[in-house]
């Protein structure tokens, strides 16, 4: 098994595009949530979202023709991949048989589905054949693997290319399976991550009707996402993408690449319990954490920081807290834990990849970002969630937790690289 390191980061998020802007907002505890502008929410109980605000696809080599043929989730992915490749100073040639791509989306091209549906019925109402007006690019725009495919096409990456889809765990599944490809010698370099652009009336309506969204802070949207807080009422819809460049240690050293961290352990399990709810006993979440620690060959007391899944939903935050207690025992009350979703909302398929970047930057900066809006402690969520203000401390080993609808549990351990 070859060692795998991360050498590049790319971010398109509600709190900023690019790692510097993103990190500054994260460290300062800036919320990206606000009144939603991408749809008319006047009839809805929830009027809040965390939208990407400073993304121009032209800045990332996506031309006007490509913009028309890429759903927003693919645009975000290509933009984040562009950043990650530049950040890693990765040499790109006319053909790249040693570089592959695994990039996923929990939902895919929902914006395109909704736009094309509206055009279809509009034509039908006018007595025309609605099907004849459906874009020839409809399927290539909506398919969940479109993000991976378009990154491969743009950069001529000729190794394996695929799209993962495991709801909120998508980004971390993509990174873990990309690391496996490198560990097994199937690739030297992988571009991996997750992306989502699901802020449409269909997406908004669905999550609202399943009572997953916070509806109680329409007049104070920045306070709506409050993981682990007693008054949490649901998540805030976010959007965007996170990408990382993974390399075999040998390949990274050969080209003298800057190394953020090494992937030392991972754990993958399934609750096999419910299509949306986590299992109340948290056993499989705890087992995923234990697998990651065992593969890394460390003690749970060696973990300095946990970037929690922390969605701000009552059941999820409680089940994650229970799992951490099961594995970390008394040390659960000492390890620093925080939820980035308190600031950027829930990016669904993009969340775990962005949160992997949070761990990497926390290591680099020596700062643990806060969980904002933690104002009223929940007696059942009683761990140390780095409340409201970032903390300076050395982070040598960080854990990223990610759990998705369908019972998908993924955990990865990152360690500062030491030669």
Sign of CA dihedral 242, 247, 249, 251: negative
Q: How far is CA 89 from CA 47, 155, 164, 256, 375, in A?
A: 41, 14, 26, 10, 42
CA atoms within 13 A on the CB side of 376: 6
E strands within 52-122? 99-104
Paired residues of 16 in beta bridges: 13
Residue 102 pairs with which residues in a beta bridge?
162, 192
Q: Is 274 tagged catalytic?
A: no
C-alpha 286/C-alpha 192 separation (Å) is 25
Among 168, 214, 359, 381, the active-site one is: 168
Set 309, 359, 381, 408: catalytic member: 309
How far apart (Å, rounded) are the C-alpha atoms in residues 207 and 86?
36
Six-digit token string for 359: 């761990």
How many other C-beta atoms are found inside a 10 Å radius of the C-beta of residue 123? 16
The answer to whether the beta carbons of residues 74 and 110 sit under 8 Å apart is no
User: Which entry of 17, 346, 359, 381 is annotated as an active-site residue?
Assistant: 346
Residue with tokens 């460290």, as numbered in its chain: 27
H helices, E strands: number in the chain: 13, 15
Q: Catalytic annotation on 346?
A: yes
On the 0-12 / 13-18 / 19+ scale of CB atoms within 10 A, 40 is exposed
- Given a contact cutoff of 8 angstroms between Cβ atoms, the answer to whether 272 and 367 are in contact is no
- CA dist list (Å): 153 to 58, 129, 227: 17, 33, 39
Q: Please list the active-site residues.
A: 168, 309, 346
């Amino acid at each position: 098994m070859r060692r795998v390191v991360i050498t590049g980061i790319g971010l398109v998020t509600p709190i900023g595009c690019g790692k510097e802007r993103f990190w500054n907002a994260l460290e300062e505890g800036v919320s990206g949530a606000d009144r939603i502008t991408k749809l008319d929410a006047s009839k809805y109980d929830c009027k809040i979202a965390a939208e990407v605000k400073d993304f121009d696809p032209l800045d990332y080599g996506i031309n006007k023709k490509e913009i028309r043929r890429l759903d927003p989730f693919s645009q975000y992915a290509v933009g984040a991949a562009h950043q990650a490749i530049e950040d890693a100073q990765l040499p790109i040639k006319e053909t790249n048989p040693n570089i592959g791509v695994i990039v996923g989306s929990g939902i895919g091209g929902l914006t395109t589905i909704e736009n094309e549906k509206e055009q279809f019925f509009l034509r039908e109402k006018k007595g025309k054949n609605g099907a004849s007006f459906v874009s020839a690019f409809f399927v290539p725009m909506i398919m969940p693997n479109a993000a991976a495919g378009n990154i491969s096409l743009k950069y001529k990456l000729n190794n394996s290319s695929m799209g993962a889809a495991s709801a909120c765990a998508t980004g971390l599944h993509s990174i873990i399976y990309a690391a496996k490809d490198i560990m097994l010698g199937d690739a030297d370099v992988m571009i991996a991550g997750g992306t989502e652009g699901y802020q449409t009336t269909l997406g908004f309506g669905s999550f609202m009707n399943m009572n997953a969204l916070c509806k109680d802070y329409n007049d104070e949207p920045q306070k709506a996402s409050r993981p682990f807080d007693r008054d949490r009422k649901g998540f805030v819809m976010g959007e965007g993408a996170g990408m990382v460049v993974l390399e075999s240690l040998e390949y990274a050293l050969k080209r003298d690449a800057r190394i953020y961290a090494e992937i030392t352990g991972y754990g993958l399990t399934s609750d096999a319990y419910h299509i949306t709810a986590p299992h109340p006993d948290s056993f499989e979440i705890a087992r995923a954490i234990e697998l990651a620690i065992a593969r890394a060959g460390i003690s749970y007391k060696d973990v300095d920081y946990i970037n929690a899944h922390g969605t701000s939903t009552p059941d999820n935050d409680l089940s994650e807290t229970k799992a951490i207690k099961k594995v970390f025992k008394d040390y659960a009350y000492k390890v620093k834990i925080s939820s980035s979703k308190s600031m950027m909302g829930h990016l669904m398929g993009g969340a775990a990849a962005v949160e992997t970047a949070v761990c990497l930057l926390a290591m680099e900066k020596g700062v643990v970002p806060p969980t904002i809006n933690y104002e009223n402690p929940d007696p059942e969520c009683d761990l140390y969630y780095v409340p409201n203000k970032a903390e300076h401390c050395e982070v040598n080993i960080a854990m990223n937790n990610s759990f998705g609808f369908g019972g998908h549990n993924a955990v990865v351990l990152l360690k500062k690289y030491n030669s």
